[in-house]
């Protein structure tokens, strides 16, 4: 059977490809969850940050859950973005310290120290504002940045600062970075900085003279 003059071998090849594309079944597609672990917990924590954009506790909880799910980049990006959004919140320091923790989990010590310093400054600002309110006669049952939280952050910040000051990259030498921070914390003293000289016992002559 002779082919029509307008049908070339190239045309036949094109028709064959079109037929295969039309009549073969579609390829199976597989999908897996982007979040490994507690998806519902992450979604609920994110919903709380949307409902209360200035709630530092909700931001800290959300970014912590992201970190636990292995989404460290998302955790850092969320903490930084949400801390900017919560500038007028008394609990903003929680979002800032969450960003710092996210950075140190990625072994970015300088960025972690930067956000730890910001968190401390935000905490101090909150305490100053609360003191001003108390001076006006307002009663505050619970501080938005209690002293024990400030102490905990300060120890964390001093640990980071010591490692950065020692010019140790935690990506290259994580053990050395940790030891530098631990050494700095060991220098904290309790009590007088200069030891007092021991008292000398009275001489026999002095004792005899006093007895007379």
The CATH number that applies at residue 106 is 1.25.40
Q: What span, in angstroms and rounded, lies between the C-alpha atoms of 90 and 123?
A: 8
| Domain span holding position 112 | 39-187
In a domain, 130, yes or no: yes
Residue 38 confidence (pLDDT): 72
3 occurs within a structural domain? no
Q: Are 73 and 47 in contact (CB under 8 A)?
A: no
pTM of the model: 0.71
Lowest mean pLDDT among 58-67, 86-95, 172-181, 201-210: 201-210
Q: How large is the average pLDDT for residues 9-36?
A: 63
Q: Answer whether residue 4 is part of any domain.
A: no
Structural domain includes residue 28? no
Burial class (CB in 10 A: 0-12, 13-18, 19+), 189: exposed
Q: What is the per-residue DSSP string for 36-82?
A: -S-HHHHHHHHHHHHH-TT-HHHHHHHHHHHHHTT-HHHHHHHHHHH
Number of domains in the chain: 1
In a domain, 52, yes or no: yes
In a domain, 30, yes or no: no
pLDDT the model gives residue 40: 86
């Amino acid at each position: 059977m002779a082919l029509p003059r307008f049908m070339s071998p190239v045309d036949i090849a094109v028709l064959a490809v079109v037929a295969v594309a039309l009549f073969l079944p579609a390829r199976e597609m597989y999908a897996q969850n982007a979040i490994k672990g507690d998806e519902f917990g992450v979604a609920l924590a994110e919903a709380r940050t949307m409902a209360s954009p200035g709630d530092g506790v909700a931001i800290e909880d959300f970014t912590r859950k992201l970190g636990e799910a292995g989404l460290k980049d998302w955790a850092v990006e969320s903490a930084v973005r949400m801390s900017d959004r919560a500038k007028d919140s008394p609990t903003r320091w929680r979002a800032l310290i969450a960003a710092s923790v996210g950075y140190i989990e990625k072994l970015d010590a300088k960025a972690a120290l930067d956000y730890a310093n910001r968190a401390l400054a935000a905490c101090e600002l909150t305490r100053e504002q609360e003191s001003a309110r108390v001076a006006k006669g307002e009663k505050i049952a619970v501080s938005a940045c209690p002293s024990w939280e400030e102490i905990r952050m300060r120890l964390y910040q001093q640990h980071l600062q010591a490692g950065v000051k020692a010019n140790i990259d935690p990506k290259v030498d994580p053990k050395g970075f940790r030891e530098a921070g631990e050494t700095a914390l060991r220098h904290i003293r309790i009590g007088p900085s200069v030891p007092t000289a021991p008292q000398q016992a009275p001489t026999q002559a002095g004792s005899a003279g006093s007895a007379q």
